[in-house]
Amino acid sequence: MELIKLNVESRCDMHLCRNRAEYRVATGKGGLSALFGGGGLYLCRDCLVKLYEAMGKELVPKSPDNVIKKAIKRREVNENK
């Protein structure tokens, strides 16, 4: 899946939005391609930002362990062996 900036005029695919689409979410093979006719999902900047914020509320990445935490975990594992 990738986000493509458009050069052509198209309407935003979101319900009740009449803005000009600036981006396309290309879905590739399978998945959403059948749902959107193989062309992807066309979004204006406002709808893209709203979608990004909504996904951010659901999909929060875990922070990576820092060097100190890794060292403590490694020490605990070595002590237990």
At 19 the pLDDT is 95
Instruction: Say how many domains are in the chain.
Output: 1
Mean of pLDDT values over 43-50: 96
At 37 the pLDDT is 58
What confidence tens digit (pLDDT) does each residue in 1-40 have? 789 999 988 999 999 999 999 999 887 665 555 555 567 8
Helices (H), the chain: 45-58, 67-80
What confidence tens digit (pLDDT) does each residue in 65-77 have? 777 888 888 888 8
Can you read off the two tokens belonging to residue 26?
Answer: 């290309």
Q: Which domain holds residue 55?
A: 2-80
Residue 10's nearest CA partner among 26, 47, 18 is: 18
Reported as a pLDDT band with limits 50, 70 and 90, residue 54 is very high
